Amino acid sequence: MEKQNPNPMLEIIVPTAVVDIKMSSGYYKRIQDLVGHIVAGKSSEELKSANDQIRNQQFNDPWVEHYETVLILCREFEDRCKEGGFTKQVTPEEFAEMMGEG
């Protein structure tokens, strides 16, 4: 019979941790889909209120803080792509074609 440790240890991530995580554009697309899912069915008034809550950092609606979290992730990925030279300018027609809408 295995003796249980009276003082079990837990592995945690330290609160000061900052790490780089590689993310593909495919995964970024999934994050964008998540943003769409979060705001699906929200009225323009609810979205305006959400943006005001984010701007003021005063959250009245629980979903808004989660919405902000994924928006921060998207912005960070976009900024890193720009810094790394992974963006390019395209026309609206080229964009529609790339998205399979052309």
Tens-level pLDDT at each residue, the chain (102 residues): 667 777 889 999 999 999 999 999 999 999 999 999 999 999 999 999 999 999 999 999 999 999 999 999 999 999 999 999 999 999 999 988 888 876
52 lies in which domain range? 44-85
C-alpha span between 100 and 84 (Å, rounded):
26
20: left (phi over 0), alpha (psi -120 to 50) or beta: beta
- The span from the CA of 63 to the CA of 42, in Å, is 11
Q: Identify whether 61 is part of a domain.
A: yes
Q: What is the pTM of this model?
A: 0.77
The encoded tokens of residue 23 equal 């993310």
Tokens of 4: 């249980």
Residue 29 belongs to a domain: no
69 occurs within a structural domain: yes
Q: Are residues 34 and 70 in contact, defined by beta-carbon separation less than 8 angstroms?
A: yes
Q: Is 33 a member of any domain?
A: no
